[in-house]
Amino acid sequence: MDSDEEDFVFYGTPIEREDDITTSRKKKSVAEASGQLRTLAPWKQEVRDEEGRRRFHGAFSGGFSAGYYNTVGSKEGWTPQSFVSSRKNRSEVKQQDILNFLDEDEKAELEGQSLGTSSQFDTFGITAADHARKHAEKEQQKRPSAIPGPVPDELVLPAADSIGVKLLLKMGWRRGRSIKDSHANVAYDARREARKAFLAFSSIDAKSLPADSEPVHDKPENYIEQPASNDVQSSQNTPVYVLYPKQDLHGLGFDPFKHAPEFRERKRSRVSENRGLANKSSLLTNNNLFGFKSGKLAPGFGIGALEEFDAEDEDVYASGYDFEETYVEDIDEPTRSIMDSKEKSVQKEPGALSGFKLASNSDYQLERFDPPVVPKEFVPHHNFPGPPETSYKLGDPGPPEVPPPQDNNLKVLIDGVATLVARCGKLFEDLSREKNQSNPLFSFLVGGNGHDYYARKLWEEQQKRGDQTKLHLDGKLSPRTQKMTSESRGKILGERPLERSSKDSSTSIASADIHLQYNLSDTFTDPSLYSEMPVVAKPFMNDPAKQERFEQFLKEKYQGGLRSTESGRASHMSEAARARERLDFETAAEAIKKGKWSKEISTSLTGGMEFTSGGFVQAKDTRAEDAIPKEVHVKRTEYQWRPSPILCKRFDLIDPYMGKPPPAPRMKSKMDTLIFTSDSVKATKEEETIIVKRDSYHMPQPEAGGVSKDVADNESGGEVEVENVERPVDLYKAIFSDDSDDEEDTSIPNEVSNPEKKVDAANTTLNRLIAGDFLESLGKELGLEVPPELPSSTNKSRTSAPLKETANANSRLYSTYPVEDKPSSTLDVPHSRESAQDGTYEKREPANGNLMGARSNSKHAETYLGNQFDNINSEKGPLEDRKFKTPSRRHRSLSSSSSSEDERSRKRRRHRHRHSDSDSDSLSDHRDRYHSRSKGRKKGSSREKSSSSRKHSKHHKRRSRESPSRYDYSPEKERTETKRDKHQRRD
């Protein structure tokens, strides 16, 4: 502290030391003089003299504080003790004893009458010791103990030997020794000597009377000798304290034979049979030490019952006094002298029963087998099993190669099923077999037509998967997947995984046993793979439409999100054809995926495929350059995050969620984590892909359809991609909750097609669509036929198709920015008048418009303004809002989506005007509007569309299937072309 103080001096004023006695004393006296201390409670006051010293009343008259802190009062003040009625306390009078009233001498006299051990005859000093101990105990009780609760001395009583043992000890008997051994042996020896002498003496007389009597005498001797030495053995043992030691695994006190006592005997006999040998030997070797367990452990110093024994716990104190050795010698000495060789062998060989010895040659011959010959090509390297189903069949040659069935459809179906089975495991096969029992198409599962081919195919697939997992393990992964997770790192470091972490990221692996979840995880992104997808060959070159659908399929497959059942343009196909095509795609995609891992697999696959291995060579080359990404691009994702009110308060900020209801308890189901993790993973991968593509690819995108559109969109959007991860929640709700629940949630797309339609009806339809699509895709995943939903009203779905999209986009953006009403006034006002039903709503509109004017100035300001505005709106509640104003809201959503997009890409601001104009112009005609919108979007704002269509592509797909004419080719193509244009321009 001294050295510290000198450092304190040079900067600022020195800190006063509180324990500086003189100053504080002075201070106190001064303070007292000024009367400050008088205000203190009496027990806090100190009486001091003029120099500030405390007044000392004398050691025997109170010390520093006489009376009650130098007062005559008490803590309660100067009040007299209040009267306590004995009426209530009467019963509490203690039971009185005669001893309470006796004097000491009287007590002593009284004690003389009671019976006790006189100290005169306390031969061993036991009584005295006992007395002293009791006395000490009493003392102990009077004194306060450091350890609360019962005094340890009470718990740990010295083990009292019985008086018999004590007497024996006094007589020279030592523990472990037979009581009679020495005497018996002495007697026996004496007798034996006598007998010899007698024999020698009597040998002169041939077989006279003593010879007759000898055996009679001798036999019992011999007979006795044996048990006597056995007795030595048994007497060495610890007295059996526990008659029936607990040896079963039942709970304490549980008696399995309670109601069936007849089995107890059986059990006991059986157990004793089994145990006979080992028990005996253990008794012999171990238990002859009284109290001490053999082993090197110190007898209970500093080792808790729950602690594990470490190396350092071992034998810390024991070296000083080795109980075991001294004791063992003590015991063995006498025994050895009397034991014959047989007995010794018993002790040495614990396997033999006492009284028996081990046979020197047994007829039991130990059969020896040569170790199996290790094949030369065997690599002593453990392959960790990947998915349980895939690894087990790797070794066998598999079923013979079978020509595919004639029916091409059947072949494709079999291929697809085999792929799925290989991926999802045997469970899938069982399931689909069960489901399709009646379906003749699936007869190959149960051994019908094409079963051989199926078996072969399945084996091939499993082989492939096995190879893949092997490659995984060999570390030939892309650098992306090699990134250490916290789990793997922890494993390397030998750390115990945190609970949460292991829960979170292992879901996709651990859920393999749960079929539904497996499928779900399949549905979402497969990381590392999509990055290579852009360079895939085109398996369906000869059929451009099919190729396009395939690419659409790929996009959906690897970009995550729910898989749609079919692509949008395949609406002319029948349900069965679509399912078959889907399986086809699945196989192709699988094959392409495999093609990345090893080339020969892809070539072996070509039997069922329509592409050549040449395409893969090319793919590989491009991938090689891709392997070194020039730079890492940062992927931005935005989530909703709710700071706690107190945090906002401490940061001196206004809670952005003020007034909002507390967040719904987050779903903790596995489903939830599954969805969330896979989604975020997906987002990253997407970006990755794009980067790779941009670096390496300069030619037009191989995918003509949705993929390239999406890619271009992403590129136009720049690095900043705003993602919303709330969607899975909606999905969850849509599937598992009632329609009525959705009305509470603002992020649920609550849009209506026509103003005259009932809102609720539309909502229901939407939810049914969502749920239906989801279930259908699940069904497809399982290879099951899901009956197509009856198109309730073509007209409705037709009109609602684009609207829903936009509304979805709206809801997405809405939850991205907490801004509900951000329309441009020019857009909104006319329309809201058109179908105005609510005055208050209209009133709010101009305000919004004003707000909008200010918005373009500052990006941040607008967000916060909008944010505030949102707060205002939130009071109105989304529900009434929706009910009143759905149509106008829909258009607002349009504009708001585009405007928020505008925020994100300032460079495109100049297109902004045209865009909104085109929107507002075509409000009356939905179809027109749609076209113009796509046109207006051409220059770069197609992003919102694509994101919405990607996100909710399944609705859109579904809808378009139901209304074939709705979604014609041209706008799509047009967009694609513009995308290409733009892409090239960019490059």
- The reply on whether position 865 binds another protein by CB under 8 A is no
Restricted to residues 944-973, the positions that interact with another protein (CB under 8 A) are none
Q: How many Å separate Cα 258 from the centre of its chain?
A: 42
Burial of 93 (0-12, 13-18, 19+ CB in 10 A): exposed
Nearest distance in Å: CB 656, another protein:
4
- The reply on whether position 652 binds another protein by CB under 8 A is yes
**In this structure, are residues 572 and 590 in contact, taking their beta carbons and an 8 Å threshold?**
no
Among 64, 309, 639, 736, binds another protein (CB under 8 A): 639
**In this structure, are residues 754 and 799 in contact, taking their beta carbons and an 8 Å threshold?**
yes
What span, in angstroms and rounded, lies between the C-alpha atoms of 536 and 551? 10
In what helix (H) or strand (E) does residue 619 lie, and over which residues does it extend? helix 614-626
Q: Which two tokens stand for residue 969?
A: 């080719």
Torsion angle of the four alpha carbons 261, 265, 266, 268, in this order, in degrees rounded to the nearest 10? 120
- The reply on whether position 883 binds another protein by CB under 8 A is no
Candidate ranges 127-135, 464-472, 591-599, 863-871; the one touching another protein (CB under 8 A): 863-871
Among 60, 121, 321, 641, binds another protein (CB under 8 A): 641
What span, in angstroms and rounded, lies between the C-alpha atoms of 359 and 476? 60
Nearer to another protein, 230 or 637 (CB): 637
Counting Cα atoms < 13 Å in the Cβ hemisphere of 31 gives 14
- The reply on whether position 612 binds another protein by CB under 8 A is no
Nearest distance in Å: CB 812, another protein:
15
Restricted to residues 465-494, the positions that interact with another protein (CB under 8 A) are 480, 483-486, 489
CB-CB neighbours of 881 under 10 Å = 20
Nearer to another protein, 17 or 55 (CB): 17
- The reply on whether position 719 binds another protein by CB under 8 A is yes
First to last CA, the chain: 70
- The reply on whether position 648 binds another protein by CB under 8 A is yes
- The reply on whether position 396 binds another protein by CB under 8 A is no
What span, in angstroms and rounded, lies between the C-alpha atoms of 509 and 266? 48
Candidate ranges 6-14, 540-548, 595-603, 878-886; the one touching another protein (CB under 8 A): 6-14
- The reply on whether position 624 binds another protein by CB under 8 A is no
- The reply on whether position 864 binds another protein by CB under 8 A is yes
Candidate ranges 4-12, 154-162, 220-228, 457-465; the one touching another protein (CB under 8 A): 4-12
- The reply on whether position 190 binds another protein by CB under 8 A is no
* DSSP-H helix ranges across 246-340: 262-285, 323-338
Nearer to another protein, 136 or 653 (CB): 653
Binding mask 674-713 for another protein (x = CB under 8 A): ---x--x---x--xx-------------------------
Nearer to another protein, 516 or 653 (CB): 653
Nearest distance in Å: CB 18, another protein:
10
- The reply on whether position 275 binds another protein by CB under 8 A is no
Q: What is the DSSP letter of 641?
A: -
- The reply on whether position 636 binds another protein by CB under 8 A is yes
Binding mask 731-760 for another protein (x = CB under 8 A): ------------------------------
Nearer to another protein, 404 or 643 (CB): 643
**In this structure, are residues 462 and 389 in contact, taking their beta carbons and an 8 Å threshold?**
yes
**Which one, of 405, 13, 385, 332, lies nearest residue 174 by Cα?**
332
Among 48, 451, 503, 633, binds another protein (CB under 8 A): 633
Amino acid letter at 858? S
Restricted to residues 327-386, the positions that interact with another protein (CB under 8 A) are none
Restricted to residues 806-845, the positions that interact with another protein (CB under 8 A) are 818
Nearest distance in Å: CB 508, another protein:
13
What span, in angstroms and rounded, lies between the C-alpha atoms of 199 and 202? 5
Nearer to another protein, 179 or 647 (CB): 647
């349900």: which residue's tokens?
A: 575
- The reply on whether position 4 binds another protein by CB under 8 A is yes
What span, in angstroms and rounded, lies between the C-alpha atoms of 284 and 373? 44
Burial of 396 (0-12, 13-18, 19+ CB in 10 A): exposed
């069965």: which residue's tokens?
A: 576
Q: Cβ contacts of residue 723 below 8 Å, gap of 6+?
A: 637, 638, 683
SS3 167: helix
Nearest distance in Å: CB 649, another protein:
9
Q: How many Å separate Cα 968 from the centre of its chain?
A: 48
Size (the chain), residues: 987
Restricted to residues 493-512, the positions that interact with another protein (CB under 8 A) are 498-501, 504-505
- The reply on whether position 656 binds another protein by CB under 8 A is yes
Among 190, 654, 847, 872, binds another protein (CB under 8 A): 654
Restricted to residues 572-591, the positions that interact with another protein (CB under 8 A) are none
Angle between helices 408-424 and 426-435 (to 10 degrees): 130
- The reply on whether position 143 binds another protein by CB under 8 A is no
| Radius of gyration, CA atoms only, the chain | 47
| Binding region for another protein (CB under 8 A) | 4, 7-8, 11, 15, 480, 483-486, 489, 498-501, 504-505, 631-644, 646-648, 650-654, 656-657, 677, 680, 684, 687-688, 718-720, 818, 863-864, 867
